[in-house]
Amino acid sequence: MSISAVKGFRDGLGPAACVSRQIEDAAAGVLRGYGFDEIRLPILERTELFARAIGETTDIVEKEMYTFEDRDGTLITLRPEGTASVVRALVEHHLDQKDPITRLYYTGPMFRHERPQKGRHRQFYQVGAELFGREDPLADAEVLACARDVLDAVGVRGARMLINSLGDGACRPAYRDALQAWGIARRDRLCKNCARRVDKNPLRLLDCKDPKCREATADAPLLKDHLCGECDDHFARVRSLLDALGVAYEVDPRLVRGLDYYVRTTFEITADGLGAVAAVGAGGRYDGLVAQLGGPKISGIGFAFGVDRLALALEAAQPGAEDRAAESLAPAVFIAVLGADAEAEALALARKLRRLGTRVELDGGRSLKSLMRRADRLGAGRVLIVGEEEVAARRGTLRDMIEKRDDKLAVDFDLDGEALLLAVGVEP
């Protein structure tokens, strides 16, 4: 009996893998331009790290983490997100001592035991960026502009950036209490989930998806009316910088996040093509997190995009991304080897071309007709035939697959570099 992948875990095949890689490369290019250095994070961390950083009462920590005992009894977790790990690394390696401002980006798989659906998987990929040591609104505006530039570079058009301020330690506790009291007084009108979480995590009442519950909380108190002066000023400055930059956003006063570490500016980016899950990316400020995880008192802000969701949004914005990727996977040259005597020459030629950066498929041991059929199926631009006659003449025969025409003994085996590329008809 064959074995299939675990539910919610997928293989990234051919063109789909190619699109994911293109998205990651485009995003990384933008992030490097913004001064972020790559950090390669471990996939496993101590469970305690996520419990403390993300929050004990969040859905992620309560229900979604892949947690198990290591052989020595340590509780470990497959990372559900990257921010906690970046903060751990910053503290562990005292990165702030080299430069008080640190910019790091990462890509890779994250794991959450959620109900799989379109755009939601148990192993999914993120590309994320974190900026430490800057409390000023300029940093928020820079990070938000950077997120927009990532979307542009990837090719996702028409995304909406929703932003809100979640206040800070000075103003949020009083608001939280007010919202909780408001919710408890209306518990019977809330959905089952919110009736329960109003006790532990009342802010989540605001982003419940249940239509009835949304209606019940339509006139709930909002944080924007409870922000302290400093948070209010900070948020106003962020918005005016974004306006000046021409970075489009919408203020969503009901935006809250499923991770507890956020303060002040938070945001979510939504795009078409994602079905029920709308967010392609999200982020925000987390000024207390570094100290909370045992580090110095430095602020942080960042975001992460879901690569799988960016791929869906890209497909909606510019249909055919996978077809275009499939085209790029076609070999530029297909070398058809006819007979054992031709093998060494054919292999040497293929290697020369490959070392020049050309994608070459090499195949032999069958009739020319069957090799041609395969070259056609792969979408190869050209076939270079290397058989007995070609070896004797030290020149290969080139077949133009579009014109279906042979150029007898056209490619001199001793050519190299640009001359060889030109001879096989590949742009140098």
Which residues are at the interface with ligand HAM (CB under 6 A)?
81-83, 112, 114, 119-121, 124, 126, 128, 130, 259, 279-284, 302-306, 308-309
Q: Which residue has the tokens 């498929």?
A: 361
In whole angstroms, how close is the CB of 121 to ligand HAM at the nearest point?
5
Smallest distance, ligand HAM to C-beta of residue 263, A = 11
Whichever of 128 and 381 has its CB closer to ligand HAM, that residue is 128
Tally the residues of the chain.
Answer: 428
Residue 156: name the closest of 305, 257, 12, 13 by CA: 305
How do 360-364 and 333-337 pair as beta strands?
parallel
CB nearer to ligand HAM: pick between 255 and 342: 255
* Nearer to ligand HAM (CB atom), residue 82 or residue 381: 82
Q: Which is nearer to ligand HAM, 82 or 273 (CB)?
A: 82
Residue 190 or 312 having the CB closest to ligand HAM: 312
Please report where in the chains the tokens 């990727």 appear, as a residue. Answer: 325
Shortest spacing between CB 147 and ligand HAM, in angstroms:
10
For residue 247, give Cα distances in angstroms to 41, 128, 142, 159. Answer: 31, 19, 10, 12
Residue 289 backbone dihedrals phi, psi, to 5 degrees: -70, -40
Give per-residue burial for 138-151: e unless 16+ CB within 10 Å, then b. ebbbbbbbbbbbbb
Q: CA-to-CA distance for 41 and 126, rounded, in angstroms?
A: 12
Residue with tokens 């751990």: 88
Of the pair 312, 342, the CB lying nearest ligand HAM is at 312
CB of residue 162 to ligand HAM, shortest distance in Å? 11
Structure tokens at 340: 């054992």
Q: How far is the CB of 287 from ligand HAM (least distance, A)?
A: 11
Round to whole Å and give the CA distance between 90 and 111. 22
Nearer to ligand HAM, 295 or 306 (CB): 306
Between 202 and 302, CB nearer to ligand HAM:
302
Q: Kindly tell me which of 317 and 353 has the beta carbon lying closer to ligand HAM.
A: 317
- CB of 273 vs ligand HAM, minimal distance in Å: 12
CB of 418 vs ligand HAM, minimal distance in Å: 44
Angstrom distance (rounded) from CA 428 to CA 420: 9
Cα–Cα distance list, 77 to 66, 208, 285, 411 (Å): 5, 27, 24, 57
Nearest approach in angstroms of CB 424 to ligand HAM is 42
Per the CB < 8 A criterion, the answer to whether 368 and 417 are in contact is no
Question: Count of CB atoms within 10 A of residue 225's CB?
Answer: 9
Could you give the C-alpha distances from 24 to 86, 231, 308, 360, in angstroms and in order? 18, 34, 10, 25
Among all residues, whose Cβ is closest to ligand HAM? 306
**Least Cβ distance, residue 3 to ligand HAM (angstroms):** 23
Q: Which residue has the tokens 């980016």?
A: 269
